[in-house]
Amino acid sequence: MSARLPNSVIVDNALAIPSHALDRLLKPRSIAIVGASPREGSFGNMIERSIASLGFEGQVFLINPKYSEIHGRPAYASLSDLPTAPDCVAMAIADAALPAALEIAARADAGSAVLFGRSYGVDSSGRELTQTLTAIAQEANMQLCGANCMGFVNLDAKLQMTGFPFETLRDPGHVALISHSGSTWSGIVGNLRGMRFNTAISAGQELATGVAQYMDYLITQPSTRVICLVLETVRQPAEFLAALDRARAAGIVVVALKLGRSERGQAFAKSHSGALSGSADVLDAIFVRHGVVIVHTLDEMMDTAELFAATRKPHNGSFALGSDSGGERQLIADLAEPLKISFAPLNEATVERLNGLLSLGVEATNPLDYWGDGQDVIADCLLAMADDPAVGTVVMATNMAQGQDFMVTCSQALEKTWAASTKPIVLMGNVSATMSPAECNRFRAMGIPVLMGTETALRALAHYSAHYALQAPEASIADAVTHTPKMPSPERLAFWKTALQDCAKADQSLQSFALLKEFGLPTAQGLSTSDWSEALAFADKVGFPLVAKIDAPEVAHKSDMGGVILGITNTQQLQAAWNELQAKLPGAVLLQRQLQGTELILGMQKDPSFGPIFTVGLGGIFVEIMKDVALLLPSDSKQAIRNAVLGLRSAALLQGARGRAVADIDALTQVIQNFMAMGMVLQDHIQEAEINPLLVSGADMAAVDCLVIPVTATHSN
């Protein structure tokens, strides 16, 4: 075997010595293609063509024992025969051959590999193929792109690493992409709108290298301004959150599209990549806390990324928008209102200036319809609004129809506005299919973002507005400080951990109300009994009205089976309720004094990726129908919890609507914090916990029904 040369000999200005752990994967100095072939159309041949297409300046080794040369270049029988350890190995071979090939790559000191195949099935020993490949890579400290991926492109390094090369890629841009969906990756990278990427990665199954590591690399690249994520799941939660924080600290905007939001979408995600889609609501809450822009369609992602990647940045999140159509201005207003887009109020000087330009009867408002009697006042109107101190960004909303004289008029006005102002200037097309590709590309080359379609453009502007909005005044220290939640003594805490374990093992009912009391949560006075005489004595002691419920741990939603009877006002009604519940399910009955107030729900569930997640919302029997809930994270402060409560659609019920007592929001916030403390302290022992309803009336609060499910217990809804 030939003596192997050190990699450092392959160095020039474009291919420097690796400085990041992923350089050998995403910015390699040498590439080996296992499965290289002279046959046109073969996968190995396509990869070779792809690598050469942008003028890759490193070495390329061709591996195939069937040939001594391919395309006039030497072909090697094995990776072990190479004169130097390759930085990256492209595996253009069948899945069954991958374990052996990756083992050879590891022994040859290869730094990384790209696995294009699906890698489904088992190896020769019956082990899952994905597990085998992961183990090989981890033991050798190799980076892997894939498996089940389309590869990557790194235009900064003049490299396409894919079996389906693009002919439209040229110079790098300022947007990076990481996608779990390979076809989506291909569609986005091959876009015809002129969206340029510095690096775009098809992550696939993330067998050894994950989204968090890719983000860490992209953050270090000077050309990165925006990172777009198309995610099915989050496989490395802690590392992922840390990467989001690093991006935010670096001033890089992260735009995320979560796939698998619907039940059907989640089913597709499981079969597509073996990934269990986490709750989209949970991920959304995490994204909001970490400053991630959430989008719901690919076109919205493209418009948003283009807008944020622009060089000019606004001083605030308010817009001035000019249109040449009264009808389209109405459409814009209709779609912008629910998005809460901030159109700047124009000052008197701006209004006076516009009135001097506009035709009679045309009102100087924002958004502005400046096309009255056909006079060309577009640039002057846009500049008048751009000069207004309240305006952060100027938007021209029009349709650049190829071949029309009016397109030239609009183009000249846009150029004049761009040249005379230092603020961001944006072109917004209302009909994406009408926008002249040549004109749009010219504007983009100037630095003017071009947004394609009214709805996606407005959604992008809404994200932009929220990101650059003037910062709200800081909350007072007293509001920002989280109160210390109520905690049991160490002895009582140990008791409850044991009780939860015993409950899970024996599948017995847990005294959930007693657990709530230990953490300072108010509970309704009650008695669980299967003895009628005890029930009578309880009624005599606390008085009427009463509520009677089936008390069985296997019944999670008692009202669904008629297991809750309200408004018991005398002994005869109590007897009838007792008999009815015993007929439905013989055993214990829970009796409670009936209370009045607004019904809330507090919930805790362990997300498979992110651990305990909490909810607060409108409770009662219609909780699944109304779905008026907010998600809370363990790190949320008192102020964040308070804001979540007041942000509910039903918050008016807590603030005195319909003659109700005004709730003590501070006391309610403390109750929620105590509940969250219980979930965090007992997270290794509790899978789910729920208080529904928590009755709130002024300062009086009480948990009326609760459910605590230990980690190993099973239950049926």
CB of 114 within 8 A of CB of 102? no
415 has pLDDT over 80: yes
Q: Which residues contact 507 (CB under 8 A, 6 or more apart)?
A: 553, 713
Same domain, 20 and 73: yes
Same domain, 535 and 635: no
What span, in angstroms and rounded, lies between the C-alpha atoms of 522 and 417?
A: 63
Domain boundary among 572, 594, 616: 594
Same domain, 654 and 679: yes
Q: What is the pLDDT of residue 668?
A: 95
CB of 117 within 8 A of CB of 91? yes
Three state DSSP letters for 466-506? HHHCCCCCCCCHHHHCCCCCCCCCHHHHHHHHHHHHHHHHH
114 has pLDDT over 70: yes
How far the first Cα of the chain sits from its last, in Å, is 66
DSSP per-residue string spanning 548-564 = EEE--TT-S-GGGGT-E
Higher pLDDT, 267 or 22: 22
Same domain, 112 and 127: yes
Residue 415 lies in a domain: yes
Higher pLDDT, 87 or 716: 87
- For 557, half-sphere exposure in the C-beta direction (CA atoms, 13 angstrom radius) is 10
Question: Which amino acid, one-letter code, is at 285?
Answer: A
CB of 261 within 8 A of CB of 280? yes
Please choose, from the candidates 569, 583, 639, 306, the residue with its C-alpha nearest in 3D space to the C-alpha of residue 460.
306
| Least-confidence region, from 6-10, 272-276, 562-566, 574-578 | 272-276
- Overall average pLDDT of the 576-586 stretch: 89
Read off φ and ψ for residue 55, nearest 5 degrees.
85, 40
Highest mean pLDDT among 32-41, 486-495, 582-591, 654-663: 32-41
Q: What is the pLDDT of residue 278?
A: 46
Cα 417 to Cα 284, 315, 412: the distances in Å are 37, 18, 9
With pLDDT > 90 as the criterion, what percentage of the chain qualifies? 64
Residue 1 lies in a domain: no
- Overall average pLDDT of the 236-250 stretch: 96
Residue 142: which CATH number? 3.40.50.261
Residue 441 tokens read as 């590309």
Same domain, 182 and 84: yes
Quick check: helix, strand or coil at residue 54?
coil
Q: What is the pLDDT of residue 715?
A: 43
Residue 206 lies in a domain: yes
Residue 515: which CATH number? 3.30.470.20
Residue 177 lies in a domain: yes
Q: What is the pLDDT of residue 373?
A: 72
542 has pLDDT over 90: no
Q: What is the pLDDT of residues 255-308, one digit of tens each?
A: 999 998 765 444 443 333 323 334 688 889 999 999 999 999 999 999 999 999
717 has pLDDT over 80: no
Quick check: helix, strand or coil at residue 156?
helix
Please choose, from the candidates 688, 684, 717, the residue with its C-alpha nearest in 3D space to the C-alpha of residue 605.
688
- Overall average pLDDT of the 693-707 stretch: 88
Domains contained in the chain, number: 4
CB of 523 within 8 A of CB of 590? no
Residue 513 lies in a domain: yes
Cα 222 to Cα 30, 43, 415: the distances in Å are 23, 33, 28
Q: What is the pLDDT of residue 608?
A: 82
Same domain, 225 and 101: yes
Q: What is the pLDDT of residue 14?
A: 45
539 has pLDDT over 90: no
Q: What is the pLDDT of residue 504?
A: 60
With pLDDT > 70 as the criterion, what percentage of the chain qualifies? 90
Residue 653 lies in a domain: yes
The band of 17, judged by pLDDT with boundaries at 50, 70 and 90, is: low
Same domain, 430 and 498: no
Burial class of residue 534, CB neighbours in 10 A (0-12, 13-18, 19+): middle
Residue 549: which CATH number? 3.30.1490.20
Q: What is the pLDDT of residues 486-509, one digit of tens each?
A: 888 999 999 988 888 877 654 444
Q: What is the pLDDT of residue 473?
A: 42
- Overall average pLDDT of the 38-49 stretch: 96
| Least-confidence region, from 514-528, 538-552, 620-634 | 620-634
- For 239, half-sphere exposure in the C-beta direction (CA atoms, 13 angstrom radius) is 12
Same domain, 276 and 323: no
Same domain, 437 and 295: no
Q: What is the pLDDT of residue 262?
A: 64
Residue 599 tokens read as 């019904």
Residue 203 lies in a domain: yes
Same domain, 513 and 618: yes
Q: What angle separates helix 182-189 from helix 298-309, to the nearest 10 degrees?
A: 50
What span, in angstroms and rounded, lies between the C-alpha atoms of 178 and 603?
A: 33
Higher pLDDT, 7 or 334: 334
| Residue 316 DSSP code | S
Same domain, 35 and 166: yes
Residue 261 tokens read as 């939001």
- Overall average pLDDT of the 168-197 stretch: 94
590 has pLDDT over 50: yes
Segments of 8-47 assigned E as strands: 30-34
Residue 2 lies in a domain: no
Highest mean pLDDT among 182-186, 578-582, 656-660: 182-186
DSSP per-residue string spanning 638-699 = HHHHHHHHHTSTTHHHHTTGGGPPPP-HHHHHHHHHHHHHHHHHTTTTEEEEEEEEEEEETT
Q: What is the pLDDT of residue 268?
A: 42
Supply the range of the domain harboring residue 668.
Answer: 474-524+596-717
332 has pLDDT over 80: yes
Q: What is the pLDDT of residue 164?
A: 93
The band of 150, judged by pLDDT with boundaries at 50, 70 and 90, is: very high
- Overall average pLDDT of the 381-410 stretch: 95
What span, in angstroms and rounded, lies between the C-alpha atoms of 697 and 334?
A: 39
Same domain, 578 and 611: no
Domain boundary among 448, 468, 488: 468
Q: How many residues does the chain have?
A: 717
- List alpha helices for 356-432, DSSP H: 378-386, 405-420
DSSP per-residue string spanning 175-226 = EEEEES-HHHHHHHHT-SS---EEEEEE-TT-SSS-HHHHHHHHHTSTT-SE
Domain boundary among 283, 306, 329: 306
What span, in angstroms and rounded, lies between the C-alpha atoms of 79 and 88?
A: 11
484 has pLDDT over 80: no
